Amino acid sequence: MTSPRLELVGITKRYPGVVANSEVSLRLMPGQTHAVLGENGAGKSTLMKIIYGAVKPDAGHMLLNGQPIQIRNPKEARANGISMVFQHFNLFDTMTVAENVWLGLTRSSLQQVTASIIGKAEEYGLDIDPARPVHTLSVGEMQRVEIIRALLTRPEVLILDEPTSVLTPQAVEKLFVVLKKLASEGCSILYISHKLHEIRELCNACTVLRGGKVTGVCDPSQESNASLSRMMIGAEPPQLTRYESRLGAAVLRVKELTLAREDQFGVDLRSISLEVRAGEVVGIAGVSGNGQKELLYALSGEDTRSQSGSIRIGETDVAALHPGARRKLGLHFVPEERLGRGAVPTLALAHNLLLTRNESISHPGFAGGWIRVRQLEAQAADLIARFNVKAGGPRAAARSLSGGNLQKFLVGREIDAKPTLFIVSQPTWGVDVGAAAQIRGEILALRDAGCAVLVVSEELEELFEVSDRLHVIAQGRLSPSVPIAQATVERIGEWMSGLWNNEERAHAQA
């Protein structure tokens, strides 16, 4: 028999109040694509960071190509043929794409790295400009940088943590072609994803973690989504219940919004018009970096340069209003960037409620108002319980949570405020199947209660589940809306390239 490329034996990692990994063993064979499956907080990312040398285990050992090895840092991991694409990116904001990639490829010149990036981007369909500063990139574009950086190291072991979470279906297909080719050439892949259909298509082995322990090993191609869910969370995710929408008045109206980009790498918004009525969910699909960030900044009030009358909440012109004034009109917003915009990393969960809620402050309109700490912590504890957030209580720092658990808390924080207009970007990015079903169910419950909901997502499956109508954004332009009953993955995928004008011309000629 072929010996394992990588073997973990009895890996244990403890943090204060939690055991992230408990005696975890795993065998990764040459050319194998091995899924690591588990709900948020199950210990998947910690285990991958141990393999990559970013975290030191408390017990257990690792073998690489049959030889015991201790990897003390990511540099040693890369030197031994192990590369990793993180869900939360390790990029320097003030440096360019090429400079970030160059840091991990010190034997090459910056000019060589730039040429390599362009070549890999074309080969794998991962469009990116090497000269762009990272702080100008969207989340999806940052992910492309991480994937290209990993591929340029020609790894023997490639670790991918939620690599497709912000990719279009067409880009996912291209990535799978690349990964299957890498595996056929002998590269061993560790693949973390909450998308069960991806795991069943791509992977030929699967280790399931629950509560930091291995609870099962299987061949996912022989399993169903339901059986994988049962292994992962102990039950099948609840089925979404959709009721016929009862439309009310228009809550959000955007008319001919044209907005020049604020930096040279941004996207100009061009004549964007849309309407979201009470009692409906409107979805916006699109490839990352096509104007989503600019549109959301304009809608949330972070960018107040919009022309007068171009954005209305109810009958109020809000184009020049800041986020606080828009919240008073019932708008609540969840950004795609969890840490830094959605939450202050060092603040406790309870105090993070104050970012968008002030009912726990006595006399909030006056300077020096008192914070009712007990009331604040009680509210946070209620959200933690309601949305099944795995955290060390209301006083836990936001940065101590896994990405999926922080997302549940942030979505819960804004939903609990009972908005009349709810705008959310990437609502279930990196969230396990059970939590994703819960968040989508809460979105539909908001809609059924008469809230107007706008969902911006690069996850088409999600948009098809929750939306009543769909738009596509491409190159700063917004397509006409299409009722969900008339939308198909193929049609929306074509529109992501800005091809809806061709379809409109064809209809006109017919």
pLDDT, average across residues 119-145: 83
Show me where the domains of the chain are located: 6-233, 248-330+421-510, 338-418
pLDDT at 237 over 70: no
pLDDT, average across residues 302-327: 96
Widest pairwise Cα distance in the chain:
73
- Rounded to whole angstroms, how far apart are CA atoms 285 and 184? 33
Cβ 13 vs Cβ 58: under 8 Å: yes
Which backbone phi and psi does 214 adopt, to 5 degrees? Answer: -75, 125
3-state class of 187 per DSSP? coil
At 508 the pLDDT is: 42
* Residue among 449, 421, 481, 482 nearest 252 (CA): 421
pLDDT, average across residues 66-79: 93
> What is the dotted CATH code of the domain comprising 6-233?
3.40.50.300
**Residue 60 confidence class, pLDDT cut points 50, 70, 90:** very high
At 503 the pLDDT is: 58
At 306 the pLDDT is: 96
At 142 the pLDDT is: 83
Tokens at residue 388, please? 């099944």
In the chain, the amino acid numbered 366 is F
- What is the overall mean pLDDT for the chain? 88
pLDDT at 91 over 60: yes
- Rounded to whole angstroms, how far apart are CA atoms 156 and 69? 15
**Residue 312 confidence class, pLDDT cut points 50, 70, 90:** very high
At 23 the pLDDT is: 96
pLDDT in tens, 3-21: 999 999 999 999 887 899 9
| Beta bridge pairs of residue 453 | 281, 422
pLDDT at 188 over 60: yes
Instruction: Compute the Cα dihedral for 281, 286, 288, 291 and give only its sign.
Output: negative
**Crossing angle of the two packed helices 373-386 and 403-415, in degrees rounded to 10:** 110
pLDDT in tens, 414-459: 999 999 999 999 998 777 777 888 889 999 999 999 999 999 998 8
At 359 the pLDDT is: 63
> How long is the chain?
510
**Residue 106 confidence class, pLDDT cut points 50, 70, 90:** low
SS (H, E, C) 254-316: EEEEEECCCCCCCCCEEEEEEEEECCCEEEEECCCCCCHHHHHHHHHCCCCCCCCCCEEECCE
pLDDT in tens, 370-404: 788 889 999 999 999 998 898 889 999 999 887 77
pLDDT, average across residues 235-260: 87
* Residue among 242, 239, 245, 246 nearest 225 (CA): 239
| CA Rg value for the chain | 23
**Residue 363 confidence class, pLDDT cut points 50, 70, 90:** low
Which backbone phi and psi does 330 adopt, to 5 degrees? Answer: 105, 5
At 81 the pLDDT is: 94
- Rounded to whole angstroms, how far apart are CA atoms 92 and 133? 9
pLDDT at 481 over 70: yes
At 385 the pLDDT is: 93
User: What is the distance, to the nearest Å, from the Cα of residue 386 to the centroid of all Cα atoms in its chain?
Assistant: 21
Q: Would 6-233 and 248-330+421-510 be classified into the same CATH topology?
A: yes
At 340 the pLDDT is: 84
In sequence order, what DSSP letters do the residues of 51-71 get, joined into one string? HTTSS--SEEEEEETTEEE--
Cβ 409 vs Cβ 391: under 8 Å: yes
pLDDT at 126 over 50: yes
At 39 the pLDDT is: 83
The CATH class that applies to domain 248-330+421-510 reads: alpha beta
**Residue 229 confidence class, pLDDT cut points 50, 70, 90:** confident
pLDDT at 364 over 60: no
pLDDT at 272 over 50: yes
pLDDT at 123 over 70: yes
At 104 the pLDDT is: 66
**Residue 167 confidence class, pLDDT cut points 50, 70, 90:** low
pLDDT, average across residues 272-283: 97
- Choose the weakest-confidence range: 250-254, 457-461, 506-510: 506-510
Element (H, E) at 173: helix 169-184
pLDDT at 365 over 70: no
At 436 the pLDDT is: 84
**Residue 505 confidence class, pLDDT cut points 50, 70, 90:** very low
- Choose the weakest-confidence range: 193-197, 224-228, 235-239, 422-426: 235-239
pLDDT at 495 over 60: yes
Share of the chain above pLDDT 90, in %: 57
What are the CB-based long-range contacts (under 8 Å, 24+) for 211-215?
A: 211/22, 211/42, 211/43, 212/18, 212/19, 212/20, 212/21, 212/22, 212/24, 212/42, 212/43, 213/22, 213/23, 213/24, 214/24, 214/25, 214/26
At 303 the pLDDT is: 96
pTM metric for this prediction? 0.72
At 369 the pLDDT is: 63
At 162 the pLDDT is: 82
Other beta carbons less than 10 A from residue 154's beta carbon: 12
DSSP 208: E
pLDDT, average across residues 142-171: 82
Other beta carbons less than 10 A from residue 408's beta carbon: 29
pLDDT at 79 over 70: yes
